[in-house]
Chains A and B, each alone.
Chain A
Amino acid sequence: MSGESESEHVLVEVLTASGCSRCQKAKDLAKKVIAELPDTAIQYREINVVEEIDYAVALGVLSTPAIAINGELVFPALPSASKLRQAILQRLNPH
């Protein structure tokens, strides 16, 4: 074992829909937060809930925007930048 702990891969998914006024805000927020983090192990994906409704329902999404991290619905509504950053960091370095 190398004493240095490797960071985990993190997938951030922003769930959106057409006609949703706050969805663009959520996408911009997620991209900005990810860009500010030095880690490259973060993947970003945008999901249209109508196109991927099975996945959205399985996550438990009830409205948009919503943000899932690593396949778990973490923010059912638009979070603050600091809360999103914290949630990503927690998963990058869980220990």
Chain B
Amino acid sequence: MMMRIGEVVTALAISADTLRYYEKIKLMPKVHRNNGGVRFYNDKDLSRLRFIKRAQKMGFSLKEITQLLKFRDSPQKARPKVRELAHHKLDEIEHHLKDLTILRDELRLLTNLCGASNEGCPILESFDKETSKR
């Protein structure tokens, strides 16, 4: 499937300027264009963009993402430095994931308590306790 830049903007919530910028700094390879110069993004481009977006959400810099994309393109041929970065980032993600899982479980419990409570809402109670600790 091929998408025009406007469609990519809508589908991935990345601005057109950002998409062009990624291409300019070679974070994205040169995107296919028709005779009129209109960009068309294929599935591989979209997958790469999703990866960039995810990595940015995790707080990785564009420089780091460039390295990670090299690793993504050819994991076997990646240089030791890139491999090391990938390992390091993997550890960071595991850590984030652990924190997120705890946060999710905590919120799940509080939400359940709130729904079942016939008095106050334990979520607010929990926040009050945190605030009074400060």
Select which of B102, B109, B116 is within 8 A of A61 by beta carbon: B109
The winner among B108, B113, B120, B126 for most chain A CB atoms within 10 A is B113
Q: Which of chain A's residues 60-77 have a Cβ closer than 8 Å to chain B?
A: 60-64
Q: Which of chain A's residues 4-30 have a Cβ closer than 8 Å to chain B?
A: 17-21
Question: Are A18 and B109 within 8 A (Cβ)?
Answer: no
Tell me the count of chain B residues lying within 8 A, CB to CB, of chain A: 17
Question: Are A19 and B109 within 8 A (Cβ)?
Answer: no
A49 contacts partner chain B, Cβ-Cβ < 8 Å: yes
A57 contacts partner chain B, Cβ-Cβ < 8 Å: yes
A35 contacts partner chain B, Cβ-Cβ < 8 Å: no
A81: min CB distance to chain B, Å = 22
Expressed in whole angstroms, the Cα–Cα distance for A61 and B106 within the complex equals 9
Question: Are A18 and B117 within 8 A (Cβ)?
Answer: yes
B119 contacts partner chain A, Cβ-Cβ < 8 Å: yes
Question: Are B122 and A51 within 8 A (Cβ)?
Answer: no
A-B contact count (CB 8 A): 50
Question: Are B109 and A20 within 8 A (Cβ)?
Answer: no
- Chain B hits for A57, CB < 8 A: 102, 105-106, 109
Expressed in whole angstroms, the Cα–Cα distance for A77 and B120 within the complex equals 21
Asked whether A17 and B108 contact (CB < 8 A) given A63-B113, A63-B116, A64-B116, the answer is no
Question: Are A53 and B106 within 8 A (Cβ)?
Answer: yes
A15 to chain B: closest residue by CB: B109
Question: Are A50 and B105 within 8 A (Cβ)?
Answer: no
B34: min CB distance to chain A, Å = 54
Q: List 8 A-B contacts (CB under 8 A).
A: A18-B120, A49-B113, A50-B113, A50-B122, A50-B129, A56-B109, A61-B109, A63-B113
